[in-house]
Structure 1
Amino acid sequence: MASRRVCLLGALFAVLSVAIEGHSASSEASVASTARRQLKAQPHEYNYIRHGADWTGLGQCGGNAQSPIDIVTTELVDPSEEGVERGVSGASFNDLPTATLTDVKVNLEQDMKFSFAVPSDISLPTITIGEVEHKFTPLQVHFHHFASEHTVDGMEYPLEAHVVMQSDQDENQLAVLGILYKYGEEDPFLKKLTDAALTAINQGDASYGSKEVPLDVTINVREDLLPSKSLDYYGYDGSLTTPSCDEIVKWHVFTTPRTLSVEQEKVFNDATLKAHADAYTTNNRIIQPKNGRSVYIYNSPRSTIRATYGIAFSTGSTAASAFGKFQAGTRLGCSNCDSFTSEERDFILGVQNRAMQGTNALAAVISDIVIQGKRRSLLQQTIADLTITYTFDSSANADPEGAVRRLSNDVLKDSTNGLADVDLKTTEDLTPGGASSIRVGLGLLMALVMSLVLTL
Structure 2
Amino acid sequence: MRSHRKKTSHCVAFSRSSQRSSKMQQLILLASIWTLCTGSGDWCYQSQFSCDHQCNAPENWDHANKDCAGMYQSPINIVTRKTLKDERLTPLQFNNYQQIFRGTIKNNGHSVQVGIPHLSTISGGGLPSTYKAVQFHLHWGNKGGPGSEHTIDGEQYPMELHIVHMKNHYADLTTALRDPEGLAVLGFFYEMSNSANRKYDAIINTMRGIKATNANTSLPSISLAQLIPSEQNMTSYYRYKGSLTTPGCTQAVIWTVFENPIPLSMEQLAAFSDLQFSDRKPMVGNFRPVQPLNGRQVFRSGSPVILASSILLVGAIATALGLSQPN
CA distance in 1, matches of 2:158, 2:204: 17
Q: Which amino acid aligns with 2:248?
A: S
Secondary structure of the corresponding residue to residue 116 of structure 2? strand
Matched, 1:55 2:53: no
Secondary structure of the corresponding residue to residue 78 of structure 1? strand
Q: How does 1:27-176 map to 2 (within 5 A)?
A: 45-49=42-46, 52-57=58-63, 58-80=65-87, 90=89, 93-96=92-95, 98-108=97-107, 110-119=110-119, 124-126=122-124, 133-146=128-141, 147-169=147-169, 171-172=176-177, 173-176=182-185
Secondary structure of the corresponding residue to residue 60 of structure 1? helix
Matched, 1:186 2:193: no
Alpha carbons of 1:227 and 1:60: their partners in 2 closer, same or farther (altered >3 Å)?
farther
Q: CA deviation at 1:75?
A: 0.5
Secondary structure of the corresponding residue to residue 269 of structure 1? helix
Structure of greater Rg:
1
Ranges in structure 2 where 5+ consecutive residues have no aligned partner? 5-40, 50-56, 142-146, 171-175, 310-315
Checking the alignment, whether the CA contact within 8 Å between 1:196 and 1:217 is kept in structure 2 is no
Checking the alignment, whether the CA contact within 8 Å between 1:165 and 1:174 is kept in structure 2 is yes
Checking the alignment, whether the CA contact within 8 Å between 2:91 and 2:235 is kept in structure 1 is no
Q: How does 1:4-43 map to 2 (within 5 A)?
A: none
Q: CA deviation at 1:47?
A: 0.5
Q: 2:228 aligns with which of 209, 225, 233?
A: 225
Q: Which amino acid aligns with 1:193?
A: I
Q: CA deviation at 1:110?
A: 4.5
Checking the alignment, whether the CA contact within 8 Å between 2:274 and 2:283 is kept in structure 1 is no
Checking the alignment, whether the CA contact within 8 Å between 1:179 and 1:227 is kept in structure 2 is no
The TM-score, its normalising length taken from structure 2, stands at 0.67
Q: CA deviation at 1:301?
A: 4.2
Alpha carbons of 1:263 and 1:136: their partners in 2 closer, same or farther (altered >3 Å)?
same
Secondary structure of the corresponding residue to residue 227 of structure 2? helix
CA distance in 2, matches of 1:143, 1:123: 20
Checking the alignment, whether the CA contact within 8 Å between 2:106 and 2:216 is kept in structure 1 is yes
The worse-fitting range, judged by mean Cα deviation, of 296-305 and 61-70 is 296-305
CA distance in 2, matches of 1:248, 1:181: 25
Alpha carbons of 1:157 and 1:124: their partners in 2 closer, same or farther (altered >3 Å)?
closer
Alpha carbons of 1:105 and 1:241: their partners in 2 closer, same or farther (altered >3 Å)?
same
Q: 1:263 aligns with which of 264, 267, 281?
A: 267
Alpha carbons of 1:291 and 1:96: their partners in 2 closer, same or farther (altered >3 Å)?
same
Alpha carbons of 1:304 and 1:65: their partners in 2 closer, same or farther (altered >3 Å)?
closer
Match of 1:437 in 2: none
Q: Deviations over 1:135-174 (max 9, x none)?
A: 2010111010011100000010000010000012452211
List 4+ stretches of structure 1 deviating above 4 A.
126-129, 300-305
Secondary structure of the corresponding residue to residue 103 of structure 2? strand
Q: Which amino acid aligns with 1:62?
A: A
Match of 2:296 in 1: 293
CA distance in 1, matches of 2:204, 2:154: 30
Checking the alignment, whether the CA contact within 8 Å between 1:149 and 1:286 is kept in structure 2 is yes
Bigger strand share: 1
User: What RMSD, in angstroms, separates the aligned Cα atoms of the two structures?
Assistant: 3.4
Secondary structure of the corresponding residue to residue 195 of structure 1? helix
Q: How does 1:292-311 map to 2 (within 5 A)?
A: 292-302=295-305
Q: CA deviation at 1:304?
A: 6.1
CA distance in 1, matches of 2:245, 2:140: 14
The worse-fitting range, judged by mean Cα deviation, of 285-294 and 90-99 is 90-99
Alpha carbons of 1:297 and 1:270: their partners in 2 closer, same or farther (altered >3 Å)?
same
Q: CA deviation at 1:231?
A: 3.2
Q: Which amino acid aligns with 1:293?
A: R
CA distance in 1, matches of 2:270, 2:83: 34
Matched, 1:236 2:233: no
Alpha carbons of 1:153 and 1:299: their partners in 2 closer, same or farther (altered >3 Å)?
same
Q: Deviations over 1:255-306 (max 9, x none)?
A: 1111112211221111125x6414652111111000110100013545969x
Alpha carbons of 1:45 and 1:279: their partners in 2 closer, same or farther (altered >3 Å)?
farther
Secondary structure of the corresponding residue to residue 102 of structure 2? strand
Q: Deviations over 1:344-387 (max 9, x none)?
A: xxxxxxxxxxxxxxxxxxxxxxxx9xxxxxxxxxxxxxxxxxxx
Alpha carbons of 1:142 and 1:91: their partners in 2 closer, same or farther (altered >3 Å)?
farther
Q: Which amino acid aligns with 2:157?
A: Y
Secondary structure of the corresponding residue to residue 161 of structure 1? strand
Q: Which amino acid aligns with 2:258?
A: F
Q: Which amino acid aligns with 1:145?
A: W
CA distance in 2, matches of 1:115, 1:211: 14
CA distance in 1, matches of 2:90, 2:245: 21
CA distance in 2, matches of 1:188, 1:110: 25
Match of 2:13 in 1: none
The TM-score, its normalising length taken from structure 1, stands at 0.49
Checking the alignment, whether the CA contact within 8 Å between 2:97 and 2:121 is kept in structure 1 is no
Q: CA deviation at 1:194?
A: 1.4
